[in-house]
Structure 1
């Protein structure tokens, strides 16, 4: 999505941020934590609903339809989304059962690959990346009615477009995230959001001196380490050179580049100075979010779903509420980049035996009543013309301001093979464990890149 389009969409959202509790964990009738249904419907959705009684009368057979996912966990807005999908689908197929095949984390994709190889994959699945298109795993949706509901950006999203055809539908356009901080604690200690790496280190030192954990990490969930690393690399690399990714792909920049080394040196400095929780590698991300919500940690690096997640955690834990603040990770000079990408997409198994049933489920999962509140919980904008997203936390306006300043939405992972990303993430966890960083450690990343470069599907 172009910057101007993103800015316009986000500016509109600023006007409607006043809706309360968009992701606070209340169930209600909507799809996630807000409990607030979005009333606008497209002609397509209305047509589906107009025929609900007839569909219920003729589609009374019993069957089980499977949905695959790697992220639908026990957060209230996620649970509410699944419940809303089930309720909406029962209006069409009263005796149908939705089986949620959920494997949290990156291992889901390995499992899904094996399922496709054995013809046992779910009928409908959430996905990321394009590997599945080339393998012919997903149904071509180019001429399906659901596509008419997509925005122009949604129809052109590189997340679902392959060789001129749409093999899925993107759900939300999501800012990558950054550093979320306890604004009340910052005010109490006289701290301001840092604008340079040195200021960031200074803030960490003052939080530590006050008896707080500066940054809560939950690196048992390895994707959180990748997120932290990627966000920092974004500002060090792309903020000053939007061609940074292509230069890496073309071999003009190697992985021992000073910008990449700087990120790992920063991790080492923070680890040595005790700016992370000591159990950073043994707790998962929900536990780190609890540490932050309790007020024992001053900051956490996460995605745009943190406002709703933090509110839920404060309520569940009985912690003292506080206002959330946000700033992006920066380079030594204070340059920042906050990319915007597709958080997740939906596709239909090309070999499913439940073709009309799967298409109907896709309609329900992306309907205005179901999807809008879930996207609010994710901190995402909609790719559907008839789905509105409403935020209630003013911190999202701060995030918008940084997105407006950013000029590039691709991330380093878009230009390097998965094996190279994995090698870099492994190095982050190694440094957090206390091992000193040496530039020679990046040779393993370079080797992985050169070995698997051919697997990269470049962004258009």
Structure 2
């Protein structure tokens, strides 16, 4: 307020009242502080910090405090507990798809259907943050592929070709083992990393049984009794029995796995492509040596990618600053935020914001991933994005199967039993 307008206010309403009004108005606006809960993955933290820094610079009346939580099952439990106790804060990052459905968005989240920025969001993402016909989230980071990260330099040294069938993959593993390298890296200390042989195989399941997701959701199909779906468990057991794993697979962590892959100590790491961000942070010189291919099935002609949608940014309906929170989410859903994320952790895959584009000089892993999206029919969403049914114990079950503790058939049957409770809680018919 100018000095001239201050004098007018003083004359009309009294100097004391005018001064009180001036002090109370702006001061309250400056005190808006948003909490922003994210997972503690290095790439998530780096991207979020970059975006929040720019947002606060453009909105000096809003402060954003970033808080981190673990990933995997521990992180799921924290989010669910905080939602149920009203302590989730203002804005939070969480899965899209089936896990999103399981946290009761209609009860705990602010409806974002009418926000103008939704027009710039890809329908593929909107579909996985919709409940009861309403949209609740904005995408953060990029779409991912679930498959195999591999060391391109090691492949070149051994004269190997990217496999398009499981038989070719296992043949490559034998050659890698003969060369004194680890064919397949597993990191069961971080249990969430154990699931890719099963979850990443869904493109092959769907190619063999197109109705599987629908039948599975209706409790008419099971992993244990559908041969195509059982193969993910069988493949995990097969690499263990063949002696293709690193000796410390039970104690190794996600970071250990990326280090082994980057150094060429190991050739293959079944993983989501979001790992590129962590590689760029910890082993930037190795980025050019890491490629990606989809988990191969039985038929080379039907080789394709199981794709993951990015997590969503949501607003708690317990927030006392919904308008400010909406400003933050709108910024995260913008092209500027995409560019900031790329600057922070690199381009790790396709963005689900229409106005966002990848730079021309993306790392090999990203160009390998993009090729599946560019080819018609070569990419399909993971099961958790086409069915709300996902049990909480898969990561523990796949650790057991991948360690030889439990057979593939036993693991699949146990997982079929594991999903019942979640399906019943969701009130799905047939359960």
Structure 1 residue corresponding to 2:398, chosen from 422, 425, 428: 428
Q: Aligned to 1:181, what secondary structure does the other structure show? A: strand
Alpha carbons of structure 1 residues 124 and 89: separation in structure 2 relative to 1, 3 Å? same
* Number of residue-to-residue matches in the alignment: 393
The corresponding residue for 1:330 is 296
**Deviation, structure 1 residue 306:** 4.0
1:151 maps to what in 2?
121
Unaligned runs of 5+ in 2: 1-24
Higher deviation after alignment, 425-434 or 188-197: 425-434
Write the distance in 2 (CA, Å) between the matches of 1:441 and 1:261.
9
* C-alpha deviation, 1:161, in angstroms: 1.9
Match of 2:176 in 1: 207
More helix by share: 2
CA-based RMSD: 2.9
- 1:252-304, Cα deviation, whole Å (9 max, x unpaired): 43222222333222222211222111222222212210111111111212222
Displacement of 1:111 in angstroms is: 1.3
Equivalences for residues 139-218 of structure 1 within 5 A? 139-148=110-119, 150-151=120-121, 153=123, 157-171=126-140, 174-218=143-187
The 2-side partners of 1:433 and 1:332 are apart by 24
Which secondary structure state, in structure 2, belongs to the residue aligned with residue 178 of structure 1? Answer: strand
User: 1:117: which partner in 2?
Assistant: 84
> Cα gap change, 1:425/1:373 in structure 2, threshold over 3 Å: closer, same or farther?
same
SS in 1 for 2:42: coil
In structure 1, the partner of 2:13 is none
Q: Name the structure 2 match of 1:439.
A: 409
In the superposition, relative to structure 1, how do residues 341 and 300 fare at CA in structure 2: closer, same or farther (>3 Å)? closer
Larger Rg: 2
Comparing 97-106 and 123-132, the one that deviates more: 97-106
TM-score by length of structure 1 reads: 0.76
Tell me if structure 2 keeps the 8 A contact 1:231–1:329: yes
Query: In the aligned structure 1, how far is the partner of 2:82 from the partner of 2:158?
Result: 52
Alpha-carbon distance between aligned partners in 1 of 2:103 and 2:365, rounded to the nearest angstrom:
36
Q: Distance in 1 between matches of 2:399 and 2:275?
A: 23
TM-score by length of 2: 0.81
Distance change >3 Å, CA 361–CA 323, structure 1 → 2? same
Alpha-carbon offset, residue 436 of structure 1: 5.0
Indicate conservation of the 8 Å contact 1:89/1:361, yes or no. no
Query: In the aligned structure 2, how far is the partner of 1:395 from the partner of 1:348?
Result: 33
Match of 1:449 in 2: 419
> Is contact 1:217–1:276 with CA below 8 Å preserved after alignment?
yes
Contact map agreement 1:181 1:299 (CA 8 A) in 2: yes
Determine the C-alpha separation between the residues in 2 that align with 1:86 and 1:217: 36
**C-alpha distance in 1 between matches for 2:205 and 2:27:** 57
Take 1:349 and 1:267, find their aligned partners in 2: how far apart are those partners? Answer: 39
**What are the Cα deviations for residues 126-147 of structure 1, in whole angstroms up to 9, with x where unaligned?**
1222234455111111222333
